[in-house]
Homo-oligomer: A and B are copies of this chain.
Amino acid sequence: MNLETRIRTDVEARIRSGEWRPGHRIPFEHELTAHYGCARMTVSKALQALARSGLIERRRKAGSFVAHPHVQSAVVAIPDIGQRLMAQTGAYRFELLQRHVRAPRRQSAAEAALHCTGDLLMLDGVHHAADAPFGIEHRVICLSSVPEAAAADFSAADPGAWLIGHMPWSDARHRISANAANAETAALLAIPVGAACLQVERWTWLAADGATGAGVTYVKQLYPGDRYDLVAEFKP
């Protein structure tokens, strides 16, 4: 293990073990430099990495301090559904129910948030696991941002997986909520009307120069509450 990593993990271990509590001043750079017998640059890089990850705060003249935990935040992995189902159950199939192209509708807040002027490709489909429908997906793709999508064959390919391979990096916003199944949803998912469902909405934009740019896609996924959990691991 290289020196920078060793210094970083040493300091991190003391913080995570609780030995150095929030507010504690960790040794000055020159003290760590002496302790590890290295150049200040090496210590500095280790501490800067800890500062970037939010574990410590650094103040000129004052020193470096163990940061106070702030907001509870978690990195939620929202995985490729097909990949996940194949790994867990060995079976996955995407069924396309509907496909059509139309102009955006002003009264739809979800579509308006993409601020897309060109035509939209609308896809509705069901994700199937081995034995039962797993979730339904309503997707909107901005053809002005992803023109290749017009010619793509989604009759069996998960649009999410297709887009990941064809879309450049972007900004996104997620909204996670709980919803009762309406009649249509219930029929597609083979669950009772009113059953609790987990709803995941995602808007994706191209980002340009730090500002949010052209919309790429909007997707609303609905999963029966008893068949799907979002699990998040995090290190604060």
Contacts and interface: CB of A to CB of B under 8 A. Distances in A.
A234 B18 contact: no
A233 interface: yes
A178 interface: yes
Q: Place the interface of chain A in its size category.
A: 35 or more
Interface string A203-227: 0001111100100000000010100
B225 A173 contact: no
A229 B15 contact: no
Interface of A: 9, 13, 15-18, 21-22, 45, 49, 52, 55, 66, 68-69, 71-80, 160, 164-165, 167-180, 194-199, 202, 206-210, 213, 223, 225, 228-236
Contacts of A235: 169, 171-172, 207
A180 B209 contact: no
A234 B76 CA distance: 10
Contact of A175 (B72, B160, B229): B229
23 contacts: A17-B168, A17-B208, A21-B168, A45-B45, A68-B165, A69-B169, A71-B77, A71-B79, A72-B172, A74-B75, A74-B172, A75-B76, A169-B235, A169-B236, A174-B230, A174-B232, A174-B233, A176-B229, A178-B197, A178-B199, A179-B225, A194-B194, A194-B196
A16 B206 contact: yes
Given A179-B178, A179-B196, A196-B179, A173 B16 contact: no
B9 A234 contact: no
A116 to B, nearest CB: 15
Kindly report how many copies of this chain are found in the complex they form together.
2
A222 B206 CA distance: 35
Given A169-B15, A229-B175, A77 B69 contact: no
Nearest to A236: B169
Contacts of A208: 13, 16-17
